[in-house]
Amino acid sequence: MAVTSTPLSSALVIVYQAGLTPLGAPVTRQKSLNGLQFDADEQAIYNAAHALFSLSQYSVLDVLNRKTFELLEE
């Protein structure tokens, strides 16, 4: 049986360092921006994430493009 996939949504997820614990370990957080164009260029997504966080005091650790598909059996 064949399975087909249908694109549903895409989101930009930025993981950043929000500070340090009292013991010096990094505290990480993430910010998600939903409604990303599904076929957006990866380089443009990466550049946008870094441009947004250049306006803040936090350091970007990871930039993720989370895509969701619906899988259907034919």
Domain limits of the chain? 3-73
**Per-residue pLDDT tens listing for the chain (74 residues):** 899 999 999 999 999 999 999 999 999 999 999 999 999 999 999 999 999 999 999 999 999 999 999 999 98
The helix/strand/coil state of 28 is strand
Instruction: Provide the terminal-to-terminal Cα distance of the chain, rounded to the nearest Å.
Output: 7
Q: How many C-beta atoms surround the C-beta of residue 61 within 10 A? A: 13
Q: From CA 8, how far away is CA 35, in angstroms rounded?
A: 10
What pLDDT is recorded for position 1?
81
Contacts of 33 (CB under 8 A, 6+ apart): 11, 12, 13, 14
What pLDDT is recorded for position 12?
97
pTM given for the model: 0.84
Q: From CA 41, how far away is CA 61, in angstroms rounded?
A: 20
What pLDDT is recorded for position 74?
86
